[in-house]
Copies of this chain bind each other. A is one copy, B any other.
Amino acid sequence: MAVTLADIAARADLSESTVSRALSAPDKVNPATRERVLAIAKELGYVPNRVARSLSSGRTDLIGLVVPDIANPFFPPIIKAVQARAAIKGWTVLIADIDERAADELPLARTIRRRVDGLVIASPRTGADRLGELAQLAPVVFINREIPGSTSVIIDAGDGMGQAVEHLAALGHRTIAYLNGPRRSWSNEQRRHAVEQTAERLGLTLVQHGPFEPQVQSGVHAADLVLAGEATGVIAYDDLIALGVLARVAERGLRVGTDLSVIGVDDSPMSAMAYPTLTSVHVPGTEAGVTAVDTLLALIDEPDSGPGHVTLETQLVVRSSTGPVAAR
């Protein structure tokens, strides 16, 4: 069986209490005693039983991460960043993938919260009121969603989306299309809004399509809708949809960047590798993940600190899928 505190205590001729302190609160113990305990612990190959520790301490040292879809390239960088950052600080991450089933999100979050000390919920698909309630029950940090009274890390698409519209305008596009993301997506509202504002300010005509699921297939479908209209430039809710547009446009024998300019959002690895390479709005997912963990751990330590808000900026990365407007 596994080595326990009792084993070390017996060997060191000390009480379990002292051994426990030597291991988890070294400053409350005589240095010499500590050394002896540590030596024996090492010799015996002691590894603390986390379950037992959890039961008495009330802490699990686990944080939960809820994501809409791990297969969506927007999330892996966030997931990796959360895991890496958590690991550095001695925490483990429990991931829940809701597979884009919005109705599963809240139940899953509620279940998992019983196992963890706090939650990071990325791009939640649930209504703000119910998310707010959840945040009452446990330390929660939302990524990419503002919930009144709750703590969140927001990626402000405004700058990047505005730059995208300005970029198209500068290339001579007068009518542009926006391909909406999922119906109840807060990110989509934010992105759409920024596009609308900038288009209006610059006097561009804006056409909208969707909502679309963030999948390549959606873009294939959307491409035909766009090509049936007047728009010469299109901004998609995300890179996946944009990649679908690219594929379909090429398939129809038209040239991306010439016949139709396409912009995505996320700046995912694929965007740099697509053909042609995809102009995209860079979204700092890694930074968001790191910040979310730091914020959450602070919240776990001090549950009564007020709601915090961190905002990260986005920025357009110009590649080959956008070019000067040409006659259709």
Q: Is A199 an interface residue (CB 8 A)?
A: no
Complex Cα spacing A73 to B70, Å: 10
Chain A, residues 67-86, CB within 8 Å of chain B (1/0): the string is 00011010011011001100
Q: Is A55 an interface residue (CB 8 A)?
A: yes
Complex Cα spacing A215 to B95, Å: 24
Given contacts A51-B51, A243-B273, A275-B247, contact A97 B115 (CB under 8 A): no
Provide the main secondary structure of the chain A interface. helix
Chain A, residues 268-297, CB within 8 Å of chain B (1/0): the string is 011001110000000000000000000000
Q: Decide: A216 and B55 in contact? CB cutoff 8 A.
A: no
Complex Cα spacing A106 to B323, Å: 49
Q: Is A311 an interface residue (CB 8 A)?
A: no
Count A-side interface residues using an 8 Å CB cutoff.
Answer: 42
Complex Cα spacing A26 to B73, Å: 45
Q: Decide: A244 and B273 in contact? CB cutoff 8 A.
A: yes
Q: Whose C-beta in chain B lies nearest to the C-beta of A273?
A: B216
Contacts of A273 in B (CB 8 A): 216-217, 220, 243-244, 247
Q: Decide: A114 and B50 in contact? CB cutoff 8 A.
A: yes
Contacts of A244 in B (CB 8 A): 273
> From residue A220, how far is it (CB to closest CB) to chain B in Å?
7
Q: List 23 A-B contacts (CB under 8 A).
A: A47-B114, A50-B115, A51-B55, A51-B115, A52-B55, A70-B79, A71-B77, A71-B80, A80-B97, A80-B99, A84-B99, A92-B112, A93-B95, A95-B95, A215-B269, A216-B270, A217-B273, A243-B273, A246-B275, A247-B273, A247-B274, A247-B275, A275-B275
